[in-house]
Structure 1
């Protein structure tokens, strides 16, 4: 996987190129198509190793229901997992996968 913030110059260019509306959500680009919210999570799971692949079965759940669960988790994630004052700095091998770092 390669990463870009949707607010970065690279992210803005990708949003324009693929017709991605402005949103506050995870977005995955795959085969010139974009997926957001629960669909993005499931596309990622599909490519992970091990038991994570099994979560792709939730693709069968209707999207409005999946996205409702996604929104619920997004709304409560800081309460459940905490919030940091600073972002963790990724190691150089991970940082190299950020599209904006390569410019």
Structure 2
């Protein structure tokens, strides 16, 4: 099973879920907010506490930050995203963290996790 865990109160994160949902025609991934208690069924507490990173759970393996973003795109059939692996992880993750730290400035913090429409809701745990 492939699951993308995101900060449910992040407007940008929820926007990315909608984009991934639209391009994932084969329904390869499911979604879960890190604030959802179901996240603990798949992730250790440390991952669930850190709301500033996306977590990609793929067949029992966990990736975070830029590795997670690349792995999601590869899973969705965009294999050319592997080219970003040539950039050293510390540099990729630094760039990821700059965006993550400013995500509430770039898109407001939501008071609650949004309720998705019926079709998208079926893709959440």
The bucket for the TM-score relative to the shorter chain is 0.7 to 0.9
* CA-to-aligned-CA distance 1:1-24 (integer Å, 9 cap, x gap): 1112233221012114xxx63322
CA distance in 1, matches of 2:46, 2:68: 15
Give the match for residue 61 of structure 2: 33
Report the 3-state secondary structure (helix = DSSP H, G, I; strand = E; otherwise coil) of the residue aligned with 1:40. Answer: helix
Residue 7 of structure 2 corresponds to residue 2 of structure 1: no
CA distance in 2, matches of 1:5, 1:77: 16
Query: How has the CA–CA distance of structure 1 residues 21 and 84 changed in structure 2, closer, same or farther, with 3 Å as cutoff?
Result: closer
CA distance in 1, matches of 2:70, 2:103: 18
Structure with the greater relative contact order (CA < 8 A, sep ≥ 6): 1 or 2? 2
Give the match for residue 83 of structure 1: 108
Alpha-carbon offset, residue 55 of structure 1: 2.9
Give the match for residue 74 of structure 1: 100
**Runs of 5+ consecutive residues of structure 1 not aligned to the other structure:** none
More helix by share: 1
Higher Rg of the two aligned structures: 1
More strand by share: 2
* CA-to-aligned-CA distance 1:28-59 (integer Å, 9 cap, x gap): 0112100011111111111335xx54333112
> What is the root-mean-square deviation in Å for CA atoms of aligned residues?
2.3
Query: How has the CA–CA distance of structure 1 residues 83 and 7 changed in structure 2, closer, same or farther, with 3 Å as cutoff?
Result: closer
**Runs of 5+ consecutive residues of structure 2 not aligned to the other structure:** 1-28
Number of equivalenced pairs:
93
Residue 21 of structure 2 corresponds to residue 21 of structure 1: no
- TM-score normalised by the chain length of structure 1: 0.73
